[in-house]
Amino acid sequence: MVNNPSFFYKFYSINSKNEISIKRILTHNELYFPSPKHFNDPFDSKNPLSYDGDIVEWKKYFRKQIDKYIPNLTAEQKQTKIKELAQKAQNNSIFDNFPNSHMDEIGVFCMTEKKDNILMWSHYADGHKGICLEFQPIPTSPFFVIAQEMNYEYKYSKPNMLRSTKDEKMLAVLLTKSKDWEYEKEWRIINHDNGPGIYKFPTELLTGVILGCSIVEKFKNLIINLALSRNPKPKIYQAKKKKDDFGLDIIEVK
């Protein structure tokens, strides 16, 4: 079992368009879990599955799906539908949009172990003009403790739709990205039950706010005032460019 890092970090841009949502994080502890369909990587959460299976396996699979999603069919309608779908399943084309067809039902919150990566500040915090929030996972609160570490690979793993476990399929689809993204050191909280939306985290888990090295004064003052109004107060840090190399120093200022 992988141990969680001591802290998780989340980067945000801050501008006139998202100012209200940033305020809500700091005043109401609200975090938005988007659907994977809205991720910026077109390969993310689109790992193809293998659909090898005989007619008996497919009938068993579709019987469970029909019982779950269309339970009001008569016994005759149910058997007809199961037979029809199982026969079509021999042609993988009926699953062309799977797992994408289920992505709207899942909410995912993405975080990182890294607070000083200059690429992430550039990509996710509006060219270092945004902020980075520091969250501390603690055993007494499951909110961040349930986060799962990303896996980075060169090729798709293609788990089997019928024979792989739920965890194996989730690892392949929602917790695996290209090796090109490995520098992000990403972790994810995945909500299958309630899907995309706003979720509240316990106040004490926000332990730090890092100001980007190029944050404008207006938003810098806003973030500091909102952070200091919290109880308990998070530490406030300023990211500053290092003098002698390509990097950032994260310096506590309040």
pLDDT in tens, 53-64: 888 988 998 898
Question: What mean pLDDT do residues 132-147 have?
Answer: 94
Q: Please check whether residues 140 and 191 belong to one and the same domain.
A: yes
181-191, pLDDT tens digit by residue? 999 999 999 99
Alpha carbon distance 245, 180 (integer Å): 23
pLDDT beyond 90 at 226: yes
201 close to 161: Cβ distance less than 8 angstroms: no
Which pLDDT score is estimated for 30?
A: 98
Measured in degrees and rounded to the nearest 5, phi and psi for residue 35 equal -75, 145
- Classify residue 237 by burial, with Cβ atoms within 10 Å: 0-12, 13-18, 19+: buried
Residue 82 structural domain: 55-88
Quick check: is 229 in a domain? yes
Which of 183, 114, 177 is closest to 151 using CA atoms? Answer: 177
CA 48 to chain centre: 19
Q: Let me know if residue 166 belongs to a domain.
A: no
Please report the pLDDT score of residue 1 as a whole number. Answer: 44
pLDDT band at 111 (very low <50, low <70, confident <90, very high): very high
129 alpha-carbon distance from chain centroid: 23
Taken in order 176, 177, 182, 188, the sign of the CA dihedral is negative
Shared domain check, 59 and 145: no
Verify that 83 and 110 share a domain, yes or no.
no
Residue 124: predicted pLDDT:
97
Position 2 scores a pLDDT of: 61
Average pLDDT score over residue span 95-99: 55
- In this structure, the answer to whether residues 71 and 145 fall within a common structural domain is no
pLDDT given for residue 4 in this prediction? 84
| Residue-wise DSSP of 178-243 | EGGGGGG-EEEEEETTT-SEEEE--GGGEEEEEE-TT--HHHHHHHHHHHHTSSSPPEEEEEEE-S
Amino acid identity for residue 147 in this structure = A
- 113 with 144, same domain: the answer is yes
In whole angstroms, give the CA distance from residue 122 to residue 130. Answer: 9
Pair 207, 146 in one domain: yes
Which pLDDT score, from 0 to 100, does residue 8 have?
98
pLDDT at 100 over 70: no
Proportion of the chain in helix, strand, coil states, percent, rounded to 5: 35, 25, 40
Same domain for 127 and 201?
yes
Q: How many domains does the chain have?
A: 2
Beta-bridge partner residues of 150: none
pLDDT value of position 65: 87
Beta bridge partners of 197: 33
Query: What does R_g of the chain's alpha carbons equal in angstroms?
Result: 22
Q: What local confidence, expressed as pLDDT, does residue 95 receive? A: 63
Long-range CB pairs of 99-104, under 8 A, 24+ apart, other chains included: 99/45, 99/46, 99/47, 99/49, 99/169, 99/173, 100/37, 100/45, 100/46, 103/35, 103/36, 103/37, 103/45, 104/35, 104/37, 104/195, 104/196
**If pLDDT is split at 50, 70 and 90, which confidence band does 144 have?**
very high
Q: Range with the lowest mean pLDDT among 96-110, 126-140, 145-159, 211-225?
A: 96-110
> Do residue 121 and residue 246 come from a single domain?
yes
Element (H, E) at 112: strand 107-112
Question: Would you say residue 91 has pLDDT above 90?
Answer: no
The reply to whether 68 falls in a domain is yes
Statement: residue 98 has pLDDT above 70: no
* 155 inside domain: no
Q: How much is the pLDDT for 178?
A: 96
- The type of residue at 122 is S
What integer is the mean pLDDT of 80-85?
A: 89
Could you tell me if residue 240 is inside a domain? yes
- The answer on pLDDT for 161 being more than 90 is no
Q: What mean pLDDT, rounded, does the chain reach?
A: 91
Residue 248 in this model has a pLDDT that exceeds 80: yes
Question: What pLDDT does 87 receive?
Answer: 83
What's the confidence (pLDDT) of residue 254?
83
In-domain check, residue 215: yes
Residues 82 and 193 in one domain: no
Of 16, 9, 10, 33, give the one whose Cα is nearest residue 199: 33
